[in-house]
Amino acid sequence: MKRFSLLLASAAALIAAPVAAQTTAITGGKLVIGDGSAPIEGGTVLIRNDRVVAAGANISIPADARRIDASGKWVTPGIFAGFSRIGLVEVGAVSQTNDMNASRSPFSAALDVQYAINPFASAVAVNRAAGVTRAVVSPSTSDSIFGGFGAIADLGQDEYPITRARAFQFVELGETGHRRAGGSRSASHIHFRALLEEARTYARNPSAFDSDLLKASDAKALLPVINGSTKLLIHVESANDILKVLGLRKDFPALKMVLVGANEGWRVADHIAAAGVPVLASALADLPYGFEDLASTQSNIGRMKDAGVKVAIGMINDRDAHQLRYSVQYAGNLVALNKVPRATGLSWDEAFAAISSGPAEIMDMGGQLGSLKAGRQADVVIWTGDPLELSTQVEKVIIDGVDQSLSNRQMRLRDRYANPAPGALPKAYDR
């Protein structure tokens, strides 16, 4: 399925932008591989078609390669947003444009964002221009603890946003799950177990399946979750909820869990590390937003990392449909913590990995995405300076080897009103 999507995307790219059908060398820049290694001065990235061929120092460049001089600039993999709702929303408060959840649908786990992600959403173009090239795209929940299937998407300007459909199932098991399930964690956990049991019943005899709890299509959707072929992204915040979730493995040993949010992860970091469960954590949550995250601190990610947890930055329920561009600012803030006494941050290299290879690896796609190693999809960004710094601008974005336009409607509005007074004709004539 994934390979098919990739092939389609590449084919479309070839038609749309023939320039991709060649070799490109980006030279002279400060090269960030994205895997947590230190930047390489004067490094080269070599791209052929949609793939990275080589990256590093002393890369030999074919004579016929297109050359892009990035001297004085930084070259990195594209930003991989570790948790988002990009492409599911045009205007948040305009319900007709908001596909994050389906509050009046009879379905839950069977819902699938691959049909909703809009590659032409203005947020896709805005975040692409800010260097975001890939994203974990999740549904949110409405009446069930299960939200449905999420996807891995690219932010390229073609009509094929799906990198991997049905990449994971999303479930709420913290305060939101408690609310969805009827008002307690007893309810959300019994809900979770009961639905998975129903799915097993369905698996034994699909044609005889008749359940008060679950539609056949939802049961079918949960089967790959039970057998571990589809990841389960679980939103929890509190230390206690995290421990309870880790305990689910006893009854459902094959679950491939990823924790999302986990504001109190640092309190039980040893348990998370021992369970080998990765975390897509909020970066800068530091307030007791509810009683489920009284101990929130910006040191959460750094402490989990130090405890051996595989952790990357996600931004659940944090302007996650529009502002994935905050990822770099968040990563920079985690670096800033290193100078704050008693705080625990990330090194620069770790911080960048937390928004590039980190999410890719957590989604089991590190071999294809998230870094500038040979064989990866060629998502490359050229920046005017340190990509985590606020003054830095994006100069060039390449997705799947294809040069991307950085234009979007925000820029068009900017240019129209650079001088606000109308000219000889009203502004509406000014394009």
Partner 1 sequence: MKYRALLALAAGGSLLAGCTASAADTNSASATAPIQSSKPARTAFPSTYRAYPSVPTAITGVTIYDGEGGRIDRGTVFMAGGKISSIGGPETAIPADTTIIDGTGKFVTPGIIDVHSHLGDYPTPSVAAHDDGNEATSPVTPEVWAEHSVWPQDPGFSRAMANGGITALQILPGSANLFGGRSVTLKNVPSRTVQGMKFPGAPYGMKMACGENPKRVYGSRNRMPSTRMGNLALNRQTWIDAQDYRDKRKAGKSQKRDLGKETLAGVLDGDILVHNHCYRADELAQIIDMSKEFGYKVTAFHHAVESYKIADMLAEEGICSAVWADWWGFKMEAYDAIPENAALLQKAGACVIIHSDDENQIQRLNQEAAKALADGRAMGIEISDAQAIRWITLNPAKAMGIDAMTGSLNPGKMADLVLWNDNPLSVYARPEKVWIDGALMFDSADPNRRPVSDFELGQPGEGDVK
- Interface with partner 1 (CB under 8 A): 89-94, 122-123, 126, 239, 264, 267, 284-291, 294-299, 319, 321-323, 325, 329, 332-333, 335-337, 339-343, 388-393, 410-411, 413-414, 417-418, 420-421, 427
Q: Check if the beta carbon of residue 325 is closer than 8 Å to that of residue 319.
A: no
Matching residue, tokens 């394009």:
431
Q: Closest Cα to residue 352, out of 310, 403, 387, 401? A: 387
Q: How far apart are CA 178 and CA 233, in angstroms?
A: 16
Which residue number, 322 or 376, has a Cβ lying nearer to partner 1? 322
- Classify burial at 12, counting beta carbons within 10 Å of its beta carbon; exposed 0-12, middle 13-18, buried 19 or more: middle
- Give least dist CB 304 to partner 1, A: 14
Which residue number, 194 or 287, has a Cβ lying nearer to partner 1? 287
Which residue number, 335 or 362, has a Cβ lying nearer to partner 1? 335
Which residue number, 133 or 296, has a Cβ lying nearer to partner 1? 296
- Give least dist CB 417 to partner 1, A: 5
- Give least dist CB 240 to partner 1, A: 10
| Cα dist from 145 to 19, 233, 425, whole Å | 46, 12, 55
254-281 b/e (C-beta count within 10 Å ≥ 16 → b): ebbbbbbbbbbbbbbbebbbebebbbbb
Which residue number, 23 or 329, has a Cβ lying nearer to partner 1? 329
- Give least dist CB 309 to partner 1, A: 18
- Give least dist CB 245 to partner 1, A: 18
Q: Check if the beta carbon of residue 150 is closer than 8 Å to that of residue 169.
A: yes
- Give least dist CB 269 to partner 1, A: 14
- Give least dist CB 40 to partner 1, A: 21
Other C-beta atoms lying within 10 Å of the C-beta of residue 349: 17
- The SS3 of residue 410 is helix
Which residue number, 214 or 262, has a Cβ lying nearer to partner 1? 262
Q: What is the residue type of 284? A: L
Which residue number, 386 or 400, has a Cβ lying nearer to partner 1? 386
Which residue number, 109 or 335, has a Cβ lying nearer to partner 1? 335
Which residue number, 250 or 339, has a Cβ lying nearer to partner 1? 339
Which residue number, 249 or 427, has a Cβ lying nearer to partner 1? 427
- Give least dist CB 138 to partner 1, A: 18
Instruction: Quickly list DSSP for 37-82.
Output: PPPEEEEEEEEETTEEEEEESS----TT-EEEE-TTSEEEEPEEEE
Q: Check if the beta carbon of residue 304 is closer than 8 Å to that of residue 265.
A: yes
Which residue number, 108 or 298, has a Cβ lying nearer to partner 1? 298
Q: How far apart are CA 58 and CA 43, in angstroms?
A: 7
Q: How far apart are CA 68 and CA 226, in angstroms?
A: 48
- Give least dist CB 431 to partner 1, A: 15
| Token pair in block for residue 397 | 């974005």
Helix residue ranges per DSSP H, 73-174: 122-129
- Give least dist CB 384 to partner 1, A: 9
- Classify burial at 98, counting beta carbons within 10 Å of its beta carbon; exposed 0-12, middle 13-18, buried 19 or more: middle
Matching residue, tokens 């009046």:
104
- Give least dist CB 379 to partner 1, A: 22
Q: What is the residue type of 113? A: V
**Who's near 158: CB < 8 A, 6+ residues apart?**
9, 12, 13, 16, 119, 402
